[in-house]
Amino acid sequence: MPFNKLQAQIQKTLLNTDEEVTQRLHQVCVLLKETVSYYDWVGFYFANHESKTLHLKTYVGEETNHTVIPFGKGICGQVAVSNSNFVVPDVKAQDNYIACSISVKAEIVIPIIKNGKNIGQIDIDSKTADPFSSEDERFLEWICEKVASIL
């Protein structure tokens, strides 16, 4: 895994105050999708706790209709309420799943926690079956911590 090498680039990207935060997050999506062969769609959703909905801030990959997701709905919506990582090796085995593309086989969603509050998440779809390991989880948790620290 190229995770070690990527960490330095991601850190640099996130700390680049010459760019708006959304632009920095977008660049992280691009870096991840371009570097990790089985990351096919990478996006950041952020929570609106009043309306209990997630809002897609930026992404790379196929266009999606799911720019607003109610808490509790789909993998993303479940993470908004569970505050825990959700690794899905096979999306077909999930009842509460929102399909974005029929070619997606697996998904991983990691919450972004700031000051103890679940403020959003990184969501990654893969066209490869069962591609995610605990290494992906630790790596993406690290990214979410760094994202929280710049918000």
Please give the residue ranges that form the binding site for ligand SME (CB under 6 A).
Answer: 41, 43, 64, 66, 69, 74-77, 97-98, 100, 107, 123, 125
Phi and psi torsions of 55, nearest 5°: -125, 130
CB of 77 to ligand SME, least distance (A): 6
DSSP state of 91: G
In the bound complex, what is the minimum distance in angstroms from residue 55's beta carbon to ligand SME?
A: 12
**Between residues 9 and 97, which has the closer beta carbon with respect to ligand SME?**
97
Contact 122, 144 (CB under 8 A): yes
Return the number of other C-beta atoms located less than 10 Å from residue 66's C-beta: 17
| Whole-angstrom Cα Rg for the chain | 14
* Closer Cβ to ligand SME, 31 or 122, answer by number: 122
In the complex with ligand SME, the residue whose CB is nearer, 9 or 66, is 66
Contact partners, residue 148, CB within 8 Å, separation at least 6: 112, 113, 114, 119
CB of 121 to ligand SME, least distance (A): 9
Q: Crossing angle of helices 134-150/3-14, nearest 10°?
A: 10
Closer residue to ligand SME, CB minimum distance, 127 or 146: 127
Q: Closest distance between ligand SME and the C-beta of residue 63, in Å?
A: 10
